[in-house]
Structure formats: C-alpha cells, structure tokens
Chains A and B, each alone.
Chain A
C-alpha cells in the first residue's frame, strides 16, 4: 500500500519535475551572473531523471493493476459557479507507454545537447525550453481531461515555436518560427471549440466520465472534427504541413525531439486518445482517412525531391504520421499506437544522425562495395515521361498547397487589412488637421511693382 502511494505521488510529479527544473534554470538566468553550463546541465538532467522515475512509477502502477486504467486526481485549479477546471492524470496503456517514450527521448536529448551545444550562447535558454517542453509533453500524455491536455498542448506549441527561432540573430529561423506559430494558433481554435462543446453537453471533459457517457448525448462529429483540425496543425498534415520542413532551422537536438520524436506525434496521440469520439462519428473517420491518405502521398513525393537531408526526413516523417491517421480512420488505433512508438524512436535517431548522413552514406558504400540498388527508382523509370514530369513539378512546388493558401486566404486578408488601415489613418489625419488653415504669407506691396 505504501509503495503504491509513493508510486502514485511520483507519477503525479512526472510533469511537475521538469517544470520545477525550468523554474530553477529560469530563476538562475535572472541573476546578475549567468549560471555555469555545468549547473544548468545538472539541474536539467536531475529533473528529467526524476521525471523518468515518475514515468516508470506510472507504468509500474498500470501493470501492477492488471492493465486497468486508473485516474490520479490532483485537485481543482479554479471554478466559477457550476464550472470547474479539475486536475487529474489518467494512466492507461496509451499514457503509460507514451510517458516512458517521452522520458527516454528527453533524457537522450539532454545528454546529447550538453556536448552539442557546449559554448553555444543560448545553452541555458535551450535547456530552459527543453525542460518546459518536457513538462508540457508529460502533461499532454498523462492528462486525465481535455482541459489539462490542452494546457500541455499549448506549452508544447510555445516551446516548439521558441526553439525553431533559437538562432534568433538570423532571419530565416525567426521567419520559420512565425509560420509555426500561425499554424498552431489557428488550428488550436478547433481544440478549444471541441472542449467547450463537450463541456456543455456532458458537463465534464474527463476522459473516463466522458467516454462512459452515452455517445448520443455528445456532439461527436463537431467535437471530433475540431480535434482533427488541431491534430492536423500539430502533426503537419496537408494542407497545413508547410511549417515542418521550415522548422528544421532549430538545433538538431530540438529538431529530433520535436519533429522526429514527440511533438509531431502529438496530433496522432490526440486522435487516439479521442478514439471513442471518432469511433462514433463516420464523417470524422472519413475525414481522418482523406487527410491522412492525401498527406501521405503528397509528402512522400515531396520527400523524394528534397534537396537536403533534414527536409527529406521532415517530409518522410509527415508521410508516416499521415499513415497513422489512416490507421485510426480505418478503425485500428492500436496499430497506430505501435506505429507511433516505433516511428518516434526511429525518426528521433535519424534526426540526430542527420549531420552525419553523408558520412554514413560513404561508409555504407565502402562496406557494400557499391551503391545499394534503389527499387523505387526502377518503378519510377517505368512511368511515362509526361507523368514523371508532372509529378516532379507538383512535388517540387509542394502540390501548390501553400501557394493556394497564400493566394486565396492570406493575400486577400492582408489587402483588406491594408485598405481598412488606410481609411483609419485618413480619419486620424483629418482629426489632426488644424481648424483654420494658416493664412497665406503676405507679399509686400513693393514686390508687385
């Protein structure tokens, strides 16, 4: 019993320990003298190791309980009248596996980054953001309600944006971070809307209570589609996936943990977690399949024409994540879970190795004695030349999705805004004009003669 209590406490602290680490590093940065790299590294590793112990405790509790899901209530954050924001963690197969994955990848990232970012001016800022990300990601996977999951979701999004713009003295990373933020902010509207709908219908967003309730009482299609929109943004699904290749501007370690390992799979996690809603809504499942299939095809082709290794990996990641969407849409969420876990680990490793990909290629060729045969190239050659040219052009132009968004959404909006702004300034200038215009200067009488 005591062990169970201790394990519960440890599990409850899993999201809190990285947050505490972030607080310590942040407080140290506010001092007159910046902390040493050793101090920051030790705080980060300690927080992440303790968090990993909490993840183990959570997984252990789940297994010890015979695989039965359970909830760990943490209290109430705030309330107003009948509405209250409850804090609770949910430990089931999905969250137990996910929290372990998060803990392992964060530990690996911290260890890798200590050497990789040694003497980098943003060393402390990087670890602050990674710790915050860890807190957010653990909150996301362990959350017992949509409310709490959304809080973790937002933290993950913010840290992602700030890490993309890590090298802020350059223009390209800063611009890329804006693109990421725009996508996240607009798609999160769907998440918020779904939460409010569910709360209004069921007076709760707790997964246990919500999914035990009769589905006929819930606005399943509207809520599922709102959640799908948010998942599309986070997991870079078409037509909202243009941000991911640009997000490679950040440090390699953050690219690996965010866009190879964890953050990009958050959308899939949300869909799997919300499976009872999707299961009850055929339109939502159809949307999953359509989005996933179209993204898988377009991204796979875009990966083939990418000029750099990181972009190619990014598109390949999007393609695999899209397949997870298809798996969910076809009614196989358990397959999607397994796919997610394995893919996270593989892609994380690949992203970390990206700077060495050329070296790896040379060593492989040397070991094989020749270039490995490319089966795909053979199939490509069998296509008609016109088809090959068309597919190549579409792939290079990313199927003109971004161009369409730019032409039909962004530019008209900005044109309207500019016109309205011009009108506003005209009104302001008119109100600033003096009531009586200054008199014309008098010309001396002698000048006329």
Chain B
C-alpha cells in the first residue's frame, strides 16, 4: 500500500521536470499518457483493496508526511486520475508538448496531495499546484491574470487560519474562491473559454470533488452562507449561460452553475445532501470534462468555437454528437446516468429543510439542460456549413477515451452502489485538515444538529 501510494504521488512529480525539458514530442506524449494511465490504474487498485477489505479512511505517514487514505478519498483520487488521462488523450497532438505534459502531471499531483494531506500547508500547496496549468502564463492573458488573482485570494484565505480566523470559515471561503463560485468565477469562465481544454479541465473542473469534500458546514451560520452562495451562483450562472454564442464559454457557465449547486447541497448539512453533493461533484467533473473535451475536438477540427459558425456536424462527427448529448444529460441528471443518482440524493437532502431553495436549484438545473441542448443543437444539427463540411472523423485514441468516459458515466448511473458507499465513508465526516486545525484552536468546534443526525 505504501509503495503504491508513493508511486501515485511521486511518479508524476518526478517525471514532470524531465518531460518539461524533453525535446522529443512523441516521447513526451506517450510517456506522459503512460504515467497518467499508471496513476489511474494504481488509484483503482488502491480503491479496490480498500473496498474488499471493508476499510474506511485510514491515516498513515510517508516520509514524515501525514496522509489520509481510503474511503471517499480513494474514489475521488480515481476520478482525478481519470481526468488527467482524458486531458492528455483528448488533446490534439500538437498541443501536448513537454511544458503541457509536465503541467498536467504536476496539477494531478497537486490535486492528489490536496485530497490526502493532513497538514494544512500541504493542502494549500496542493491547491496551488492543481492550478499550475493556468498559472504558468502560457495562455490567454485574461485567463492567466484572473487565475493568479483568484488562486492568491484562495491561498490567502486558507492561510488566514494561521492568523486566527476560524478555520472552517477560512477554508470554506477559500474553497469557494478556488471552485469559482460567484463572485469568484471570472477566472473559471476565462480559463474554460480561452485556455486549452486540457489545461482548463485539469485546473478548473478536476478539483471539484476534492474541494467539495472539505466544504461540510461546521456551524449553522456557515451552512447558511454556503446555501446562499450556492443557490445564488447556480441561478446567476445558468441565466448568463443562456445568451452565450461561444461553445466553451456556455459550458463554462454551466460548470459554474453546477459547482454552485454542489455547494448548495453541501450547505444543507444533511447526510443525503452531503452524499448527493459529493456524487454530484464526481458526476459533474466527469460530465463537464467530457463536454469540454468534445468541444475541444470540434474546435480543433473546425478552427472555431463560435456556435454561429458551427452546425451540421452530426453527419461528420456522429460519435462526438452522441457523446456530447450523453455528457450533457449526465451533467443535468438524466435517468440512467450518475447525475440522476446524485441529483436525487442532493434534493432529498436539500428540499425538506429548504423547499423554496430546492425549487430554485431545480429550475437552474433545468435551464442548464436547455443551454446544453441548445449548444448541441447549434453545434451538431442543422444544415452543414462551409467550415464544417470537411471535418475529419474521430481518431482512435479519441474514440477509445470517449467510450471509456461514456461507459463510466452510464455505469455509475446504472450501478451506483460502489459510489454511494461514499456516504458510509462519511461517518468520519470531518476533513482531516479541519480536525487537525480545530483541535489546536481554543474554542471547541460547534456541530450542527444535522451532523448529529447524520452520525446516527
């Protein structure tokens, strides 16, 4: 187990500098993809071992670094690793050079570190590393500048706990900023719209489940803040998404809306709400990442992401059209996909205590579904245009990755039992970072009644 964990964490970080310096693009692509697949395989093995042993979370130390492994974290680690593989597999060959590959693997290491570390400083370091593809400055200026500002705010808030701010509040606000919940969303929009798809997905979409894990509200006041921020953000982003003409920008707003819904579900504080939120985080990560990847495929082939210039791609890219539709419905909770399971649980958690807010979140989800369908319609349906008439079909790696992606989303929806075990692992619910920080604080932690109810 220790050796496996070590390889999961260390191998990508060790490989990153070598990849960055390498001048052989083909070797870089193959090596980085092999490493990412290796991390994914190891993550799945670790999760399977935990599941077979019936073990929940466990603490261990590697080289003096305190980690928490197992339970929900092993599931989320697999999701992070899967996204890293997808980012490399879906990206056009010319966009994956040494710099891109090393950034992808560094970001993956950062996410895994943030997910498993007990030390708050390491968690914060992991956050920063997970945004590396955007912070490096090689992309659109707006995306880079906004990312730097927002990540700095996020880190500052996290570190503010050391200066005496209540850790739960500091962490929650930091997480909201890092997740891109309005009003901290501008960097996420800019990145998902303008940065290369692989970079945007790794830095913006992938951290959702691990950040959601730490958002469990410790006090009723914090719960209300998360609820308010989540509901307002979900509605705001879903409305603005309606008027977008650029495909990836529309997907960016849908992502922000879905993330905000996850935050609102976490804010409910109930067992079903939190379980639903975590599952929604997993589902949204995979679905939105899939959508962004397909959008990247379309953009690479047509040279444009403006839906006013797209259309009629259904005949040229039928598999991409089918994949986009499937991912879209997974993102908004269609039956048979993981999104349906998570939305059902989230609503069971939110509606009884906040029925009006639940209706608002449902309406936002419905509007997101409309936006995604319009994106699909404008991109793939209608008469063919000059820009889309000579588009090439999907290549083998894109087909294989797309199938695998769709398989996971549908399998997770039809057989959600392994993922719903996330709830059982939440019996030890407080994130280790919060436990450790608050145990050192003078005031005892306040538990909500919902937390007590959930621990029954």
Task: Using known A-B contacts A417-B243, A424-B186, A427-B186, determine if residue A185 contacts B369 with beta carbons closer than 8 Å.
Answer: yes
Chain A residues lying within 8 Å of B367, measured Cβ to Cβ, are 185
User: In chain B, what residue has the closest Cβ to A30?
Assistant: B319
Query: Are A78 and B329 interface neighbours, CB within 8 A?
Result: no
A125 to chain B, nearest CB (A): 9
Contact code string B360-373 (vs A, CB < 8 Å = 1, else 0) = 00110011011001
Chain A residues lying within 8 Å of B373, measured Cβ to Cβ, are 161, 178, 181
Q: What CA separation (Å) do A85 and B341 show in the bound complex?
A: 9
Among A37-45, A191-199, A337-345, A347-355, the stretch that binds chain B is A191-199
- B347 in contact (CB, < 8 A): yes
Q: What CA separation (Å) do A174 and B312 show in the bound complex?
A: 11
Query: Are A420 and B239 interface neighbours, CB within 8 A?
Result: yes
- B377 in contact (CB, < 8 A): yes
Query: Are B358 and A417 interface neighbours, CB within 8 A?
Result: no
Contact code string B254-268 (vs A, CB < 8 Å = 1, else 0) = 000000000000000
Query: Are A196 and B352 interface neighbours, CB within 8 A?
Result: yes
Task: Using known A-B contacts A154-B335, A158-B329, A417-B239, determine if residue A428 contacts B186 with beta carbons closer than 8 Å.
Answer: yes
Query: Are A185 and B370 interface neighbours, CB within 8 A?
Result: yes
Query: Are B363 and A186 interface neighbours, CB within 8 A?
Result: yes
A133 to chain B, nearest CB (A): 14
Chain A residues lying within 8 Å of B387, measured Cβ to Cβ, are none
Query: Are B236 and A420 interface neighbours, CB within 8 A?
Result: yes
Query: Are A197 and B355 interface neighbours, CB within 8 A?
Result: yes
Chain A residues lying within 8 Å of B358, measured Cβ to Cβ, are 193, 196
User: In chain A, what residue has the closest Cβ to B417?
Assistant: A78
Q: What CA separation (Å) do A224 and B275 show in the bound complex?
A: 28
Query: Are A169 and B423 interface neighbours, CB within 8 A?
Result: no
Chain A residues lying within 8 Å of B348, measured Cβ to Cβ, are 80, 83, 196, 199-200
Chain B residues lying within 8 Å of A413, measured Cβ to Cβ, are 239, 242
- A448 in contact (CB, < 8 A): no
Which single member of A158, A161, A185, A196 contacts B366 (CB below 8 Å)?
A: A185
B108 to chain A, nearest CB (A): 27
Chain B residues lying within 8 Å of A416, measured Cβ to Cβ, are 239
Task: Using known A-B contacts A78-B420, A165-B381, A197-B355, determine if residue A189 contacts B362 with beta carbons closer than 8 Å.
Answer: yes
Query: Are A421 and B244 interface neighbours, CB within 8 A?
Result: yes
Chain A residues lying within 8 Å of B136, measured Cβ to Cβ, are none
Query: Are A169 and B312 interface neighbours, CB within 8 A?
Result: yes
Query: Are A174 and B335 interface neighbours, CB within 8 A?
Result: no
Interface centre among A30, A80, A185, A189 (most CB of B within 10 A): A80
B147 to chain A, nearest CB (A): 10
Do most interface residues of chain B lie in helix, strand or loop, or is the interface mixed? Answer: helix
Among B23-31, B137-145, B207-215, B433-441, the stretch that binds chain A is B137-145
Which single member of A171, A181, A418 contacts B382 (CB below 8 Å)?
A: A171
Chain A residues lying within 8 Å of B381, measured Cβ to Cβ, are 165, 168-169, 174
B376 to chain A, nearest CB (A): 10
Chain A residues lying within 8 Å of B149, measured Cβ to Cβ, are 431
Query: Are B355 and A182 interface neighbours, CB within 8 A?
Result: no
Query: Are A170 and B140 interface neighbours, CB within 8 A?
Result: no
Task: Using known A-B contacts A178-B374, A413-B239, A420-B236, determine if residue A155 contacts B363 with beta carbons closer than 8 Å.
Answer: no
- B221 in contact (CB, < 8 A): no
Query: Are B243 and A431 interface neighbours, CB within 8 A?
Result: no
Chain A residues lying within 8 Å of B454, measured Cβ to Cβ, are 81
Chain B residues lying within 8 Å of A83, measured Cβ to Cβ, are 272, 345, 348
User: In chain B, what residue has the closest Cβ to A167?
Assistant: B381
A439 to chain B, nearest CB (A): 19
Q: What CA separation (Å) do A422 and B9 show in the bound complex?
A: 42
Query: Are A428 and B312 interface neighbours, CB within 8 A?
Result: no
- A177 in contact (CB, < 8 A): yes
User: In chain B, what residue has the closest Cβ to A193?
Assistant: B359
Query: Are B146 and A428 interface neighbours, CB within 8 A?
Result: yes
Which single member of A80, A200, A418 contacts B420 (CB below 8 Å)?
A: A80
Query: Are A428 and B314 interface neighbours, CB within 8 A?
Result: no
- B303 in contact (CB, < 8 A): no
- A118 in contact (CB, < 8 A): no
Query: Are B345 and A80 interface neighbours, CB within 8 A?
Result: yes
A157 to chain B, nearest CB (A): 10
Chain A residues lying within 8 Å of B242, measured Cβ to Cβ, are 413-414, 417
User: In chain A, what residue has the closest Cβ to B340?
Assistant: A151
Chain A residues lying within 8 Å of B420, measured Cβ to Cβ, are 78-80
Task: Using known A-B contacts A83-B345, A178-B373, determine if residue A420 contacts B366 with beta carbons closer than 8 Å.
Answer: no
- B190 in contact (CB, < 8 A): yes
Contact code string A71-90 (vs B, CB < 8 Å = 1, else 0) = 00000011111010100000
User: In chain B, what residue has the closest Cβ to A191?
Assistant: B362
Residue pairs across A and B with Cβ atoms less than 8 A apart, 11 shown, are A79-B420, A81-B423, A81-B454, A83-B345, A169-B381, A177-B377, A196-B355, A416-B239, A418-B243, A424-B186, A429-B142
| A residues adjacent to B (C-beta < 8 A) | 30, 77-81, 83, 85, 147, 150-151, 154-155, 158, 161, 165, 168-171, 174, 177-178, 181-182, 185-186, 188-189, 192-193, 196-197, 199-200, 413-414, 416-418, 420-421, 424, 427-429, 431-432, 434
| B residues adjacent to A (C-beta < 8 A) | 140-142, 145-146, 149, 186, 189-190, 236, 239-240, 242-244, 271-272, 275-276, 312, 314, 319, 329, 334-336, 340-341, 344-345, 347-348, 351-352, 355, 358-359, 362-363, 366-367, 369-370, 373-374, 377, 380-384, 416-417, 420, 423, 454
Nearest 3 A/B pairs, CB to CB: A432-B142, A196-B351, A151-B335
